[in-house]
């Protein structure tokens, strides 16, 4: 049992500023997949439409040389996200060329062979290689997973 009290936490006063860590350099990193979550987003142009995305937290191993040179902790969490194609009936569209994000994930995890049973929940705890890239948003570097591959 935890001694954590949400009311105390919400009312706690902090005087030190929060500091942003240096971004990891662009490149390939090895990580472990966390528990995937499905996110549903209402369409901006057409609010009557909804779109589904999968978000998978990936805990990356920060190489020792980057830990010492950038003062980073041994791990960094990023999120790998991709959209889902669904049919008009609301089921996953498994037709050829659809759900490429899921296909790439399955291939990276060696879970895309004929006859293999697959569920998104099964990715948790599996090692994966991610290509980390930088994007600029509000003049700040944001780390983004731009690709996944087999370890």
d(CA 42, CA 130): 28
Residue 2 lies in a domain: no
Residue 9 lies in a domain: no
Asked whether the predicted pLDDT for residue 90 surpasses 90, the reply is: no
pTM score, two decimals? 0.86
Q: What angle do CA 117, 120, 126 make, to 5 degrees?
A: 90
Residue 132 lies in a domain: yes
Residue 12 lies in a domain: no
CB 111 within 8 A of CB 104: no
The highest-confidence range among 13-17, 49-53, 117-121, 127-131, by mean pLDDT, is 127-131
Residue 13 lies in a domain: no
Residue 141 lies in a domain: yes
Per the prediction, the chain carries an average pLDDT of 93
pLDDT reported for residue 9: 87
Residue 105 lies in a domain: yes
pLDDT reported for residue 27: 96
d(CA 127, CA 34): 10
Residue 14 lies in a domain: no
Q: What is the tally of structural domains in the chain?
A: 1
> By residue range, what is the domain housing residue 105?
19-149
- Tell me the two tokens of residue 110: 């060696």
Q: In 3D, which of 112, 138, 143 has the Cα closest to residue 31?
A: 143
Q: What is the pLDDT of residues 7-58, one digit of tens each?
A: 888 988 999 999 888 899 999 999 999 999 999 999 899 988 889 999 999 9
Asked whether the predicted pLDDT for residue 1 surpasses 80, the reply is: no
d(CA 45, CA 67): 43
> What Rg value do the Cα atoms of the chain yield, rounded?
19
């Amino acid at each position: 049992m935890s001694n954590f009290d949400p009311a105390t936490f919400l009312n706690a006063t902090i005087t030190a500023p929060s500091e942003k860590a240096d971004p990891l350099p662009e490149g390939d990193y090895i990580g472990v997949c966390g528990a995937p979550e499905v996110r549903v987003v209402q369409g901006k142009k057409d609010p009557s439409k909804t779109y589904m995305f999968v978000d998978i937290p990936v805990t990356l191993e920060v190489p020792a040389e980057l830990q010492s040179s950038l003062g980073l902790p041994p791990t960094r969490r990023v999120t790998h996200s991709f959209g889902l194609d669904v049919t008009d009936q609301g089921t996953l569209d498994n037709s050829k060329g659809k759900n490429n994000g899921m296909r790439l994930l399955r291939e990276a995890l060696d879970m895309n062979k004929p006859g293999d049973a697959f569920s998104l929940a099964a990715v948790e705890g599996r090692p994966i290689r991610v290509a980390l890239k930088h994007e600029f948003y509000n003049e700040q570097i944001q780390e983004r997973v731009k690709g996944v591959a087999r370890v």
